[in-house]
Amino acid sequence: MPLVQNSSYRPPFGFHSGHLQTIYPSLFRKLALITDRRERISTPDGDFLDLDWADKPTSKKLAILTHGLEGSSRRTYIQGMAQALTRSGWNVLAWNFRGCSGEANHRLESYHSGSIGELKTVIAHAASSDRYEQIALIGFSLGGNITLKLLGDPEHPIHPKVKGAVTFSVSTNLASSAKHLERLDNRIYMRRFLKTLRGKVREKVQRFPGVIRHEGLDQMRTFREFDDAYTAPIHGFVDAEDYWQQSSSGPHLDNITIPTLLVNAKNDPFLTSDCYPTQSANGHPHLHLEIPESGGHIGFIEFNRENTYWSERRAVNFLKAQMP
């Protein structure tokens, strides 16, 4: 499809700033826990994944939600989307990356921006039930990159029950975003990410003595430093640049074969011009690219009685049109 022209999103008065749109929901939006049934499944390599469900016994449709870097299934943006979907008759499965569910994972390896294997495991587990006839994938930020990479990877055919996908605030070029987040005005986000990542490294050092080291960990200030030292070597990449190149979803977008919506706001503080793949989307038979003027990073704030954000309404409406 051609590019989505004239996005319908308009920020509330006073919320035009990308930084405000990004920060406000995590601090002030309050939601009930929608995905309140937890299930633990095993991975092929002997680890585990924690899945949180919201079940509607009469529905044949399932949405699988994938969170962002250092997030979890309990983040507000996940629960907000789960709320909108369940109100529209969907079952919801919100899964946690390894080490993000409140308990450390078993293996030295954790998760990274190209971890499509874990999403494949979750899809296969859900699809094994005869209950679901249609599955949609919804990914946010890093989870959006994983979703798009899986959908466009010719070496990993998508499960036939997966009929549509929606992604928000996705860095389709990881190298450019990693460097962009080094800017002074983005340091608040970098510090937050590195704080929790450092904690996980320290825990791994205790459990795997001599395998990884923590010298210099506290002095790291960028994703390049962290990914060079930990993410890349632990997960089989040469260095940070090799990791970013191999894990970015951008080169795979042309191969997407199911209806897919990618929404990246122009004022997203995490993204650069390389993360708005207009050339890939223009004329693509399946990829819909929408670029609102505002929205921040996983923001898209709206104020209404239902406590529903624009991104949640947009996802539900897109899936309804593509998966009636």
Active site residues: 141, 268, 297
Q: How far is residue 202's CA from residue 322's CA, in Å, rounded to a whole number?
A: 45
Please state the φ and ψ torsions of residue 39, each to the nearest 5 degrees: -135, 140
Angle, vertex CA 182, rays to CA 177 and CA 188, nearest 5: 105
Q: Which two tokens stand for residue 266?
A: 């122009």
**DSSP one-letter string for 43-93:** -TTS-EEEEEEE--TT--EEEEEE--TT--TTSHHHHHHHHHHHHTT-EEE
Distances in Å between the Cα of 241 and the Cα atoms of 222, 228, 299 are 13, 8, 29
Please state the φ and ψ torsions of residue 53, each to the nearest 5 degrees: -115, 150
Question: Exposed, middle or buried by CB within 10 Å (0-12, 13-18, 19+), for 277?
Answer: buried
Question: Exposed, middle or buried by CB within 10 Å (0-12, 13-18, 19+), for 41?
Answer: middle
Q: Which residue has the tokens 């004239």?
A: 6
